[in-house]
Structure 1
Amino acid sequence: MERPGAGDHGGLVSRAADFASGKGHGDENFPVASRLVRAELRAPILAFYRFARAADDVADHATAGPEEKFEQLARLEAGLRGDAGGSPEGEALRRVLQVRNLTDQHALDLLEAFRRDVVKQRYADWAELMDYCRYSAAPVGRFVLDLHGESRTLWPMNDALCAALQVINHLQDCAKDYRALDRVYIPLDVLAAEGIGTEALADSQASRALRIVIAGLAHRTDALLDLSRPFAGRIADRRLALEVGVIQTLAESLCARLRRRDPLSQRVHHNAVEMAGLAAYGAAAVAIGRIGRMFGHGQAALPGNRG
């Protein structure tokens, strides 16, 4: 994740605005409320995104102390619940949820993840990391599904895809997270199995042991993407299905790169041209599959993209 650059006010961050990183939905590694989504649903998705971005900026602030961070996260929750002193992002999302008759549980789950980020710097194993992803990633997709009126039977595939996206971001940014915040999402047991510790993330280039760790975690993430691959084909809303297909394709490509590249010294993120090409490919694969099912030909598919 990119880190905020708000100033240090004598060790205190005095205003909510001081926590803002300036990062917006267009800066994310994966599409957020793209034009594939129905126009009338983009504003609610962006309200949810701004709530999540505000909480993320608080949890990741480089100079604010835990007490200040918890206070700002409490303001976000107060706004969500309609209590006095609530943040504008929480109040805006609350209005969206009321108009759409949607639960606030997904947003509350996100706040649980960000509260963990304030105090939790290490993850013992994969299971502990997946529990974190249950709160930090899955609620985003669940909210979008609820907003579109999709069946909650899709949640397991959604959760697999969202967890995969979260782990990919963690692996891409592993050195940055360690250097800026001393936060490590790579499970400690897999580091120990290769005879290294978290200090390996401070190097300018990954050691052979760290490359093995990253490639192994990318392989485990591939297993999550295998679980989510049918997801787009089972979404009723055509435009949302196309967006999920795009995200799945981008994630598979990034996972392949993480098996080959060193995120400490090499670029893993897609550039604009690469992203556009992969997005077109992912959308086309979903569209062809839907056409095939319409004419009774089952699940049509293009060859998988792994690069």
Structure 2
Amino acid sequence: MTSAADFTSGKGHRDENFPVASRLVRAELRPAILAFYRFARTADDVADHATASAEQKLAQLDRLEAGLRGQAGMGVEGEILRSTLQARNLTDRHARDLLEAFRRDVTKRRYADWSELMDYCRFSAAPVGRFVLDLHGESDALWPLNDALCAALQVINHLQDCAKDYRNLDRVYIPLDRLGVEGLAVDCLSARQASPELRRVIVGLARQAGALLDRSRPFAERIADRRLALEVGVIQALAEGLVRRLERRDPLSERVHHGAVETTGLALRGGIVVAMRRLVRAVGARQPGLRGSRG
């Protein structure tokens, strides 16, 4: 296996749980986001390949990084992203951080506690949002809010896919100390239905993701770009909806993902909430007496 095509899953940006370069984003910026996504998707496919050896996966990730650093003929997705970044005078730091996460996926299959998981999310999730903020010319003062939202999205995905990740990849993102408190071993994830003990673990982690979403809630209204703010508001609303579903549903035996109608409703509500908050904030800025009305 010597090229990225040997590892491809066939998954694209329309298959993700959350919007990627949706029409809310300015049209001229979507190609750059998609170039970043394809780089990340390629690396993810490499790390998650079912039969490739660890050595083959790490070698292919190295080729992607070599392309990103300008070595021709090494990794086309990296070369394309490099050209995109250079055209906009953007750093490759966020893409390199993602590669760190995918290398961990190859070599690390268990996480001891929440702190270890959050450190992983710092590399696997936060760089995506940071890149989008940089692309829009937003301040890096927004990074803490971005990181909270991105970490929550990552944890939600881990919980939704916990059985599949264990079954297909022998990879467990649920912290081992949480399982240990309930007297569980990782093979509990192979059951057809979660035990009451495992449900308590999943609900507890879902609520911690919810706490991260509480921290990220002001994020959208503080983004200068109106269209990006609306997209972030949509993502926030979808994530909050998934946390509620994880509190009620068993990802081992029940569907957690939103259906199309639910997704549309949550997206509309999220966008409207952000638009209204931004309007109130703008009016409050012009009329100081109204500032206390912002909710």
Flag whether TM exceeds 0.5 (same fold). yes
Distance in structure 2 (CA, Å) of the matches to 1:88 and 1:284: 40
Distance 1:84 1:135 in 2: 26
Q: Measure the CA separation in 1 of the matches of 2:177 and 2:96.
A: 30
Q: Which residue of 2 aligns with 1:244?
A: 232
The equivalent position to 2:35 in structure 1, one of 41, 47, 55, is 47
Tell which deviates more after alignment, 284-293 or 138-147. Answer: 284-293
Which secondary structure does the structure 1 equivalent of 2:207 belong to? helix
Give the structure 1 partner of residue 147 of structure 2.
159
**Which amino acid is 2:155 matched to?**
V
Select 2:115's aligned residue among 117, 127, 141.
127
Pair 1:187 & 2:175 matched: yes
Aligned residue number for residue 68 of structure 1: 56
Shift of 1:300: 4.5
Aligned to 1:5: none
Aligned partner of 2:250 among 242, 262, 266: 262
Superposed CA deviations along residues 6-28 of structure 1, whole A, max 9, x for unmatched, are: xxxxxxx3542120000000000
Question: What SS does structure 1 have at the residue aligned with 2:111?
Answer: coil
For 2:30 and 2:112, how far apart are their aligned partners in 1?
A: 37
TM-score relative to the length of structure 2? 0.96
What is the identity, as a one-letter code, of the residue corresponding to 1:21? S
Is residue 204 of structure 2 the alignment partner of residue 213 of structure 1?
Answer: no
Equivalent residue for 1:175? 163
Aligned amino acid, residue 132 of structure 1: Y
> Match for 2:87 among 91, 94, 99?
99
Q: Does 1:32 pair with 2:20? A: yes
Q: Deviations over 1:119-159 (max 9, x none)?
A: 10000000000000000000000000000000000000000
Residue in structure 1 matched with residue 125 of structure 2 by the alignment: 137
Residue 282 of structure 1: aligned partner: 270
Do structure 1's residue 228 and structure 2's residue 224 form an aligned pair?
no
Q: What is the rounded CA distance, in whole Å, between the counterparts of 1:193 and 1:128 in structure 2?
A: 17
Distance 2:223 2:191 in 1: 43
Distance across 1 between alignment mates of 2:282 and 2:3: 55
The residue aligned with 1:79 is 67
**Which amino acid counterpart does residue 46 of structure 2 have in structure 1?**
V
Deviations 1:146-205 (A, max 9, x none): 000000000000000000000000000000000000000000000000010100000000
2-structure distance, mates of 1:16, 1:224: 34
Residue 200 of structure 1, aligned match among 151, 173, 188:
188
From 6, 15, 19, the equivalent of 2:7 is 19
Aligned residue for 2:102?
Answer: 114
* Distance of 2:258 and 2:100 partners within structure 1: 30
State the AA in 2 paired with 1:214: I
The secondary structure found in structure 2 opposite 1:293 is: helix
Runs of 4+ in 1 over 6 A off after TM superposition: none
Q: Distance in 2 between matches of 1:114 and 1:271?
A: 29
- Answer yes or no: is the 8 Å Cα contact 1:288–1:300 preserved in 2: no
Deviation for aligned residue 1:87: 1.1
Partners of 2:104 and 2:3 in 1: CA distance: 22
1:82 Cα deviation from its structure 2 partner = 0.5
> In structure 2, what is the Cα distance between the partners aligned to 1:86 and 1:223?
42
Cα distance in 2, alignment partners of residues 87 and 69 from structure 1? 13
SS at match of 1:295: helix
- With structure 1 as the length reference, what TM-score do the two structures score? 0.93
Change (3 A) 1:46 1:236: same
Q: How many residues are treated as equivalent by the alignment?
A: 289
Q: 1:14 to 1:149 in 2, by over 3 A?
A: closer
